[in-house]
Amino acid sequence: MSDRVPAELLDIADALMPGASLDTARFVQGGMHDVVLFPGVAAVRVSRRPSGAEALPRRTELLRVIAASGLPFAVPEPLTPVTMFDERAAVAVSWLDGAGLPDGVGDPARLGELLQALRELPVTAQLRAVLGTPRTYTDGHHWADILAEEVIPRLPGKWRDEGRRRLEEALTLRPVPDSLVHGDLGGENIHWSKDGKLIGVLDWDRAQLFDPAVDTAFLGWVHGWDNVREAVDGETYRRARVWDRAFGVTHLVAALDGRPLANVESYVRHIVAWLEQNADR
């Protein structure tokens, strides 16, 4: 996070949130957006690329639907319409208090309650419509075909057979009902109070309908696999480890969310680095 907000972003934030004190504004660069923070008031998300500007209306509507779905924790709600500023799209969303926990820290009971709330949320027609179909790319290819045809052949020779084995292990998991999967349940995306209560969850850009064990795998990386083992049943834990072994859940989710890979070569490099660092998984 930086205290200095670029002038262009400050102008956009001021236009969306007139009256908010610019003196308190802070800047943070997210994975897909630049964000101007008005602590205690709002966060202004600004697209960095044309693809982000195109996707922001759907992502904003998704926030609206999820916030109204009855989850037992807060979700950022849109405060303004999505507005174009030249080629950049921006929207202000409500502020969430609290902060993320340090790596390896987490109460298994409360982690389990978070996962249960997501898993048991009814998948309404409205939610399904705004999330789309996560298992299929726009060109009709299944996510596993993308991994098998575009990613694994680009792996170094010593990892290709292992990559095929890990993908096959994931594909042979027993099907389970789709549920709302956040897709990036880590670190600063989960806000807790000082006394350890869950306040809210932000950054739903990778949300999709899929196996809830994917979110379990994310929590395993952040809060520790031992904590997660106590938070979920044995079968969910086993599935989470399988999804994680399939090239690391943080990489895998980029192939699950229904979008073509923007840069296959870069994606493969990140997977190879993960495989080298986690060779014994």
The architecture of the domain spanning 108-277 is Alpha-Beta Complex (3.90)
Which carries the bigger pLDDT value, residue 27 or residue 2?
Answer: 27
Rounded (10°) CA dihedral 119, 129, 189, 268: 100
Among 74-88, 90-104, 223-237, 246-260, name the one with the lowest average pLDDT: 246-260
Q: How far apart are CA 63 and CA 104, in angstroms?
A: 28
pLDDT at position 281, please?
64
pLDDT at position 31, please?
74
Q: Is the pLDDT of residue 250 over 50?
A: yes
| Contact status, residue 186 vs residue 253, Cβ threshold 8 Å | no
CA angle 56, 58, 63 (to 5 degrees): 90
How many other CB atoms are there within 10 angstroms of residue 187's CB atom? Answer: 16
pLDDT at position 138, please?
46
pLDDT at position 187, please?
80
pLDDT in tens, 3-57: 789 999 999 999 999 999 999 999 998 878 899 999 999 999 999 999 899 999 9
Rounded (10°) CA dihedral 120, 101, 182, 55: 150
pLDDT in tens, 122-145: 999 999 999 865 554 444 458 888
Mean pLDDT of 79-99: 97
pLDDT confidence band for 2 (50 / 70 / 90): low
DSSP letter for each residue of 22-70:
GGG-EEEE-SSEEEEEETTTEEEEEESSHHHHHHHHHHHHHHHHHHTTT
Q: Is the pLDDT of residue 204 over 60?
A: yes
Superfamily of domain 7-94: Phosphorylase Kinase; domain 1 (3.30.200.20)
Q: Which amino acid is at 176?
A: V
CB within 8 A of 245, min separation 6: which ones? Answer: 166, 169, 170, 281
Q: How far apart are CA 226 and CA 60, in angstroms?
A: 35
- Residues of the chain within CATH 3.90.1200.10 domain(s) are 108-277
- Residues of the chain within CATH 3.30.200.20 domain(s) are 7-94
